[in-house]
Homo-oligomer: A and B are copies of this chain.
Amino acid sequence: MIAPELAEHFRGKRVLITGGLGFIGSTIARELVESGAQITLVDSLTPEYGGNLANIAGIEERVRVNISDVRDEHSFRFLIRDQDVLFNLAGQTSHVDSMAEPYTDLDINARSQLSILEACRHHNPDARVVFASTRQIYGRPRYLPVDEQHPLQPVDVNGINKLAGEWYHLVYGEVYGIRTCILRMTNTYGPRMRVKDARQTFLGFWFRLLLEGRALQVWGGAQRRDFNYVDDAVRAFLLAAVREEAVGKVYNLGDAHVLTLEDLAEQLTSMAPGSYEVVSFPEERLRIDIGDYFGDFAKIQAELGWAPAVPLEEGLRRTVDYYRRHGSRYWP
């Protein structure tokens, strides 16, 4: 549950969420229905992506679901009208897929962002827009933790296109006065994440493997990473949408607790009967792996008062519990 004063901001507000049936989009929706916001979820339900109707189980009657693809600029021009807030989360998030199908990645992560912003510019220049960006645009860290001043050096097509998508938001803010804010997310996990396979994140797939009693595969294993529980990430999106200081800003999310992937696998397999094996990287992933990464979130902490609140162990436990109960809705 979000803080009452934050919830108050959204009472009666019209909120549009792209990728709204996905992991983070649906979690935002679940928070905001309680605040009395009028919510429209836009999602293509493309099978390879994260959208899943199970994610809005229990709130189906309290949100409007609009099945459409962000590449469809025509429908978006209608959908954006009169919205107070746009949480812009739809994206192609698989690094490996971006190399195999670079045009698809370009169309979703760059071109559609441009058309979304053109729609805002022409049809709703007053909306607040929060864009879900990614640590991937920094590439291989030159120093740790990575702050927002770190050079941008994406190592794959996905990182380049996300970078372009992010910068359209900043330029449309600067030139046309659209009130945008960018969140560069680190690994985010929790209930409703895509767990079917490792296309989007290894961690999602680990939850499935764990609950199916199969061994987790750890690629490499020594890479250190940070993780945000979904409720913490969602709170950052809400703050970014309401606080005046957030307009035109770029913020890292992140967590002070850093651990290796092998340690994470160890921790997870202690929560349910399970095992893991450390394996060498598949070739196509090794070439675009970024090694150690963890983010410096001092800026959003100082300006918006955000910091992660859910410890990793607690978050992992909630997530395991969720998929133990609802796994059948997330994999065959």
Contacts and interface: CB of A to CB of B under 8 A. Distances in A.
Given A102-B114, A110-B106, A155 B174 contact: yes
Given A161-B164, A171-B157, A114 B103 contact: yes
A115 B104 CA distance: 12
A287 B288 CA distance: 36
A82 interface: no
A49 interface: no
A164 B156 CA distance: 11
Contact of A160 (B103, B149, B151, B164): B164
B114 A106 contact: yes
B164 A110 contact: yes
A175 B288 contact: yes
Given A114-B157, A157-B171, A159-B171, 17 more contacts: A99-B175, A102-B114, A102-B118, A106-B110, A106-B111, A111-B111, A149-B151, A154-B171, A155-B175, A156-B171, A157-B168, A160-B167, A161-B164, A163-B164, A163-B167, A175-B287, A175-B288
Interface string A282-305: 000001100000000000000000
A152 interface: yes
Contact of A171 (B111, B155, B168): B155
Main secondary structure of the interface of A (DSSP, over half): helix
Interface in A112-128: 114-115, 118
A103 B288 CA distance: 28
A154 B167 contact: yes
Interface in A128-154: 149, 151-152, 154
Contacts of A161: 164
Given A102-B114, A111-B103, A111-B106, A160 B171 contact: yes
Contact of A287 (B155, B160, B174): B174
Q: Which 8 A-B pairs have the closest CB atoms?
A: A160-B167, A164-B164, A175-B287, A160-B164, A102-B114, A106-B111, A152-B152, A156-B171
Contacts of A106: 110-111, 114
Contacts of A171: 154-157, 159-160
Contacts of A160: 164, 167-168, 171
A151 B154 contact: no
Interface in A77-115: 99, 102-103, 106, 110-111, 114-115
Contacts of A156: 171, 175
Contacts of A168: 102, 157, 160
